[in-house]
Amino acid sequence: MLSFVIKHSLVFMFVAAIAGFLMPQYSLSFFPFLPYVLFSLMVLTLLSMKPSALLRMLVKPLVWQYACYHSFGLMALCIGASLLLGATDELVLAIGAVAATGSLFATPAIIRVLGFDVLMAMAMTIASTLLLPIAIYLLLCVTHSDGMALDIQSYCLRLVIFIFGPMLLSFLLHRFVRPEKVSRFLLTVSPYTVLLVFAFPFGLIGEFRLMWDRSPMLAYQYLAIATMLCGCFFISGFFLYRVKGVELAFVAAVASGNRNVLLTYTIAGSLLGPAFLPLAGAIQAPTYLLPVMAKWLAKKVK
């Protein structure tokens, strides 16, 4: 059964989002546990990579050029488009926060299923995650004109725990635990890490379902916005890097389309405004549908 789930994991990620929408009480109940799942997934993902190879990939200018496009370029583009279209201040803040968000730590696993460069996907994920605090800080400084203050101490503590914590823990394990023990551990738990990924679409979509229950038309608008955001991220990433080859184009497209909105909410919380969680919930279905479409497109383009 587990092998079947792993084989069709891209489809089951989308199914998990639908399941969370159909069972909002369970989705909302599971939401408080998601930061612990996120921390565990980040550690396991980093642990599966050789630190030396990952560092060599991280120092490449291409990776940081991508991260700047991912975090700052798309944030500026989305905020500008939102203002031109007359979006509310709360929605502009939410859209900007989603656009500033780093890649999902599940991105390397998705790229592995597609058969592309996992190490590059991991480097792009880490680089965009490291730029996330700067992007969110700039966003909050620009948009919180009503005098709302950013609690720097709390913000930095969350950064240390949820961004640098997994990286440090992974480094220490690689440094002080024998490689064969790490390999045996990963061999044992790696089949189950895909189950951790399913937790995010299931647990994050609950707030969107509450909006849908209160105002279906508003929920449809949020879903349309979320779909356009995912489409914009994916398509722009693909064509921006298409000149460097089909493989890099797909890696950039998937990394750009997958957004770790839970991490953004974990480190910034209520400062992101009331529109962020419903939008983060609405983005789950298109986010996890994109890899399925990418797999189909990859077969056509190759």
In the numeric block, the tokens 């859209």 are attached to 95
In the numeric block, the tokens 């050029």 are attached to 65
Q: What is the pLDDT of residue 252?
A: 94
Collapsing DSSP to helix, strand or coil, 67 comes out as: helix
Q: Residues 75-99: pLDDT tens digits? A: 999 999 999 999 899 999 999 999 9
Average pLDDT over residues 177-195: 80
Q: What is the dihedral of CA 17, 21, 23, 25, to 10 degrees?
A: 110
- Cβ-based neighbours of 68, under 8 Å, separated by 6 or more: 131
d(CA 186, CA 4) in angstroms, rounded, equals 20
Q: What is the pLDDT of residue 147?
A: 44
Average pLDDT over residues 128-157: 76
- Say yes or no to pLDDT of 141 above 90: no
Q: Residues 268-284: pLDDT tens digits? A: 888 898 999 999 999 99
Q: What percent of the chain has pLDDT over 90?
A: 48
C-alpha separations of 232 from 65, 76, 148, 239 in Å = 18, 13, 31, 11
d(CA 211, CA 70) in angstroms, rounded, equals 28
Angle (CA) 257 137 36, round 5°: 60
pTM: 0.89
Residue type, position 216, single letter: P
d(CA 223, CA 81) in angstroms, rounded, equals 17
Average pLDDT over residues 228-237: 94
Domain boundaries, given as residue ranges, for the chain: 2-301
d(CA 59, CA 236) in angstroms, rounded, equals 23
Among 22-31, 114-123, 161-170, 186-195, the range with the most confident prediction by mean pLDDT is 22-31
- Tell me the CATH class for 2-301: mainly alpha
- Say yes or no to pLDDT of 256 above 90: yes
Q: What is the pLDDT of residue 120?
A: 93
More confident residue, 85 or 162: 85
Q: Residues 218-231: pLDDT tens digits? A: 999 999 999 999 99
